[in-house]
Amino acid sequence: MAEQLFYFFIYPGLIFAGVIGGLLAWFDRKITAKVQFRKGPPVLQPFYDFLKLLLVKETILPARGSRITFLIAPMFSLIGATLAAVFILLPLMNINIGFQGDLLVIFYLLTMPSLFYVIGAMASGNPLASVGASREIKLIISYELTFLLVFAAIIMKAGMTINLQEIIQMQAGGSAFIGSISGVLLFIAGLFCVQAKLGLVPFDIAEAETELSEGSFIEYSGTAYALIKYTKYIMIFILPALLVGFFMAGFNWEGMGILWSILKLLLVVLLLTLIRNTNPRLKVKQAMRFFLVGMNILVVVAIILTYFGL
């Protein structure tokens, strides 16, 4: 019991994933600043933001709307993200308690934050928030199928094993999945799904700052918004880490492997940041067409290539 609580709260879970995720959120903002020839924020900026929201600011509850749901939704999104972090990071950190079928659990847990953002936005009773929530739902509908197909293709490539630990070990023994043609196609599709899951710019339709003024999060303030920020920090760590586990043979914590592990993670975050900085926001229709037509065809082609062993 104590071991499970330690896993959940401290080492691969809440605190560890949040701290590393905060540093990655700084990396994202710093690279954004460098792309725009600016200097960028200091290293601890995400933690200043989080602590300010948590400790200093007042939490305002909506006058009309379901207050309990409004407050519970960020907690559940944080719990979902933390559980996903535990299941993803335990195999990646070489603590072997993965079980058969943990990929499916990870897939469902990764959906929880987005779903609870929607529930919280609906509970706030703000019209802009409900527009944001409806857009978020449309985005979920469009990218989840592609993300599931990527999972299916990875399971197929790994010889029908539904266990993250075994998938990573298979790549560590032979060659990484990104070395094949189908692996590259799957990596592209997975990267765009992660971009949409994180709500970064081409797919930040739900929290469009210019027309919806933060969309789903418009009514959140103080502690509740701090929990949402923390969830986002955890997500920006675990989703690239999942991609590294799927395509680049995971992490290796021995000797020079430490450097390579960190570089792999930073490379995926760098790609996400560059996509974010070089694209305008899509419309809902365009994003749905992008995933439902373009990316799904890409993944199906990759699955067919996998079948022929390419």
Partner 1 sequence: MGLKNFCLKKSLWLFHFAGASCNNCDIEILDVLTPRYDVERFGMQLIGSPRHADIILVSGSINQRDKPRLLEIYNQASKPVFVVAFGACGCTGGIFAEGNTFAGPVDKIIPVDAYIPGCPPKPEAILAGISKLVKTI
Contact residues toward partner 1 (CB under 8 A) are 29, 33, 36-42, 44-45, 48-49, 51-52, 55-60, 209-210, 212-214, 217-222, 225
Complex with partner 1: residue 136 or 219, whichever CB lies closer: 219
d(CA 53, CA 98): 35
- Min dist CB 46 to partner 1, Å, is 9
17 token code pair: 């994933």
Complex with partner 1: residue 29 or 289, whichever CB lies closer: 29
Q: How many other CB atoms are there within 10 angstroms of residue 130's CB atom?
A: 17
Chain position carrying tokens 């960028």: 40
- Min dist CB 44 to partner 1, Å, is 8
Helix/strand/coil (H/E/C) assignment for every residue in 189-208 = HHHHHHHHHHCCHHHCCCCC
- For residue 78, what is the enclosing H or E element? helix 67-92
Helix axes 102-124, 67-92, angle to 10 degrees: 160
- Min dist CB 50 to partner 1, Å, is 8
- Min dist CB 60 to partner 1, Å, is 5
Complex with partner 1: residue 4 or 213, whichever CB lies closer: 213
Complex with partner 1: residue 146 or 216, whichever CB lies closer: 216
Amino acid in the structure at residue 89: L
Amino acid in the structure at residue 124: S
- Min dist CB 34 to partner 1, Å, is 10
Complex with partner 1: residue 177 or 220, whichever CB lies closer: 220
